Amino acid sequence: MAEAELPRHADEQLDQAGLHAALLIEQVMSALPTEPLRTRFAPLTRHAAQLRDASGESLRKSVVATRAALGPGDGLADYVESHLAVALREALDDVLRILNRRAANRARPPRRADA
């Protein structure tokens, strides 16, 4: 039987990666140069909240949506300093790597000692 999914906060690495990505979203949002841009990308604040608290598929969807909002072409990365966009992209990729690793471990059948 595959392992059940642990609560998000039970995995310190995932929790810290999510918190780091949420903080970067807030920094990127505050770095946007105009109010119309802040309004346009306002849904990302909801994703920041998900990165702090959600787990499972909800967390994955928020990461993917935020990463998609970075660009290319007329995305968030076009309006903020490149180091912020790169840091956010890397933080989101870290969360995805952890989620993918957890999913792979859950899908792996348990190993038998007598096999």
Token pair listed for 97:
């790597």
Residues 6+ apart with CB under 8 A from 7: 55
The Cα–Cα gap between 11 and 107 comes to 17
- Residue with the bigger pLDDT between 10 and 36: it is 36
Q: What is the dihedral of CA 98, 100, 105, 109, to 10 degrees?
A: 180
Predicted TM-score (pTM) of the model is: 0.85
For residue range 34-92, what is the model confidence (pLDDT) as tens digits? 999 999 999 999 999 999 999 889 999 999 999 999 988 889 999 999 999 999 999 99
Whether 93 shows a pLDDT value over 80: the answer reads yes
